[in-house]
Amino acid sequence: MRFVILGFGVSGQAIAKFLLKQPYEIFVFDDKIESILKLPEAKKIIDQGITVLKVADLFNLKYCDKTILSPGIPENHPCLLHLQKISEEVVGEMEFALRQFEGRCVGITGTNGKTTVTKQISHILNYNGRKAIACGNVGYTLIDAVQEFKNDILVIEISSFQLDRLESQKLESAVLLNITPDHLDRYQTFETYAISKAKIRSLIKPQGCFYIHDKTLEDFWVLFENKNAISYGFENNAQITLKNGNLIRYGKEEINLAFLTENLVKHDLENLLAAYAICRDLGLSSKQIKEGLETFKKPAHRIEFVKEVKGIRFFDDSKGTNIDAVCQAVNSMNGNILLIAGGVDKGSPYTPWVDIFQGRVKKVFAIGQAAEKIRKDLTPFVQVSIAKNLEEAVYDAFKEADKGENILLSPGCSSYDMFRDYAHRGEEFKRIVNTLTNEMKL
């Protein structure tokens, strides 16, 4: 059989290693293959007998049994359009992986909060002796997970790009956390993006449960009519909610979580409800879930306190890569905020920040490709200055901050103009902040 792997990032490389176990004819193409092959692991995979295609080579191919598509490849990519004509099947990497798996799995998607809820669920399960692995868009690639953890519960984080090419009805249950504007540099409209997110409902087994945030269900009800959606949250008589610290599920109080929830902001409470719902479906008792929640630590780069210098607090929210994520971060803070934002623009306007920032954000320090657009969208309602890089933004914000104020990195953008990924950006922010001292004069 002849396979073409379109996209040779982390998931594409994992697919290649899987295919190399069989005597297949394997080709790969990636627009950035030259830089990728500088990585020892990628070159090692290629050297095992994989043919790297240049553009001309790919267009000279006349036949392919199966093209396996990495999620980062847009649907209008010329190479994909050609492969669709000559391939017996074009399949997404996650769909290909799911076809190799017959075990238990659940799915998590949404614009914000996916990684936190995925890790929260896997932690609670493991804490209670149920072997589980966080995978998909976080942790292990799905193809690695289905091979290495066949007997574990797979807790799969699924992006909209991955959902676009998923078909198999394998999930025992799934949750849709929220839908807010994102990736409009790839999707033509917000509605198209929402339809992509809603697709997770079709991947659940017939007897499985589908959970959805109550406000999301209200806003996009037309996508979920007659879909047996179970709502969670704090509005519209949600079927799973918290009242006075009591967890209420289907109208019955199950356990008091007041000690756990009293200091959590709203979006963290909503994430907790989603994790609770899925864990109950997987057979855990309310007491077991509570014990797991008590030991869970939120992943890095999510409104993470870094350091206090001269009474000024620094927070790393590098994972805040869209408009709504920044709004949530700003709403969660106490005291004035000096915000560092910017990076690669994702197609949404920044104007929704104007109302949210009033009385909260003292000034925005914009960086990266989106800096000028941020200034244009927020002026004259919010004061904005442009810094040439992250280090300059941190120092400028530190100069202007007063005791008791917060300096928050919450970019609202992708990181790829200046960093490898959001984690690299967050680590660089921490490194810069940790050079600041109480004695420093700027």
111 is in an annotated binding site: yes
290 is in an annotated binding site: no
112 is in an annotated binding site: yes
Task: Name the nearest CA neighbour of 6 among 39, 38, 33, 30.
Answer: 30
441 is in an annotated binding site: no
115 is in an annotated binding site: yes
User: What are the binding residues?
Assistant: 110-116
Binding residues for ATP: 110-116
